[in-house]
Amino acid sequence: MRRLLYLLPVLVLGVLALFFMKGLEMDPHEIPSVLLNTPAPAINLAALPGHDHGLTTDDLKGRVSVVDIFGSWCVSCAQEHPTLLAIKETGIVPIYGIDWRDDPVKGAEWLKKNGDPYERVGLDPAPGHASVDFGVTGAPESFIVDKGGIIRWKHIGPITPEVWETELLPKIRELQK
Amino acid sequence: MRKALALCACLLALSGPVLAADPDEMLKDPAQEARAEKIGQGLRCLVCQSESIENSNADLARDLRVIVRERVKAGDSDRQVVGYVVARYGDYVLLKPPFKARTLVLWGGPFALLLGALGVLVVFFRRRSAAGSPPPLTPEEIRRLDALLKDSGNS
């Protein structure tokens, strides 16, 4: 019994070490969304110049979709852009864009120059009410919304081909069943 | 030189915490603005994380400052404004975590450790005083001790 008592500090140290090791692997910027499994927020966003439609909550109902928060000012958004265009090519899922804190003209030009992977794009000027309603922490950030308009997944950071294959696509396939 | 130092010290003492709110995003009503600032100081900037939205220069922090002021202006109570932000970002956005079942270990842990350590100390000292002082030496022991001391004195 007394011997066990001497082991106590070692045990405490061991538990602390486990916590710290886990902490090393965790990304403090990946904040779990409280909005998972809740209805997508009510939005009604204006169209970009030259585009026919803005984006409303009703657009997100009826089929599984991806909502992508981006901006022409955002460097990592340019990085994920080719992947979004490739996803559009496959026709597996519609991607809706929220052009966050952007100048409408710059946003429209950016899409013209780089290609437009979005089914519809809504403009969300500062202070970005719609994006804040989605709990945005930075661009790009993407959500999978199910047929009923419920948020089922959130991805922080650019969508790479690997993220698409391993994270988003399986989730989308499952929701499409 | 000494004067300059004294001036520096005075200026430092006078300067308050620097807030990032631009004059144009501040509310006209000073009471409302004071409330908004107080609320904002309790909300974490999601970009810089260890700063409050009132202290941060990040765009998102600015947006949240504006939104907090919109809510205050619209007549929300402090609790409603905080609730509005927590509904979108979770408890994580609060710089001071709330006391509830999930955070019991966080809030109670240090006190539990303190009580535990006090308990160990009490047991330790009790045992020591229970053992008491050793019994006095017998005449035989005193004689042997004297002999030993004499011995070492001679060498």
Q: What are the domain boundaries of chain A?
A: 28-176
3-state secondary structure of B93: helix
Query: Which of A28, A133, A138 has its CB closest to that of B88?
Result: A133
Q: Do A127 and B88 touch (CB under 8 A)?
A: no
Query: Which of A34, A101, A132 has its CB closest to that of B90?
Result: A34
* pLDDT at site B144: 92
Higher pLDDT: A55 or B97? It is A55
Spans of chain B below 70 pLDDT = 1-2, 5-23, 132, 153-155
Percentage of residues in chain A with pLDDT exceeding 70?
99
Topology classification of domain A28-176: Glutaredoxin (3.40.30)
Is the pLDDT at A132 greater than 60? The verdict is yes
For B128, phi and psi rounded to 5 degrees? -65, -40
Task: Spell out which residues of chain A touch residue B62, defining contact as CB-CB under 8 Å.
Answer: 126-127
A76 and chain B: CB distance < 8 Å anywhere?
A: no
3-state secondary structure of A13: helix
Q: Average pLDDT over chain A, rounded to whole? A: 93
CA distance A90 to chain B (A): 32
Q: Do A34 and B87 touch (CB under 8 A)?
A: yes
Q: Which pLDDT band, with edges at 50, 70 and 90, does A67 fall under?
A: very high
CA distance A140 to chain B (A): 13
Q: Contacts for A27-31 with beta carbons within 8 Å, 24 or more apart?
A: A28/B49, A29/A137, A29/A138, A29/A156, A29/B49, A30/A156, A31/A137, A31/A156, A31/B46, A31/B89, A31/B90, A31/B92
Q: What is the ipTM of this complex?
A: 0.84
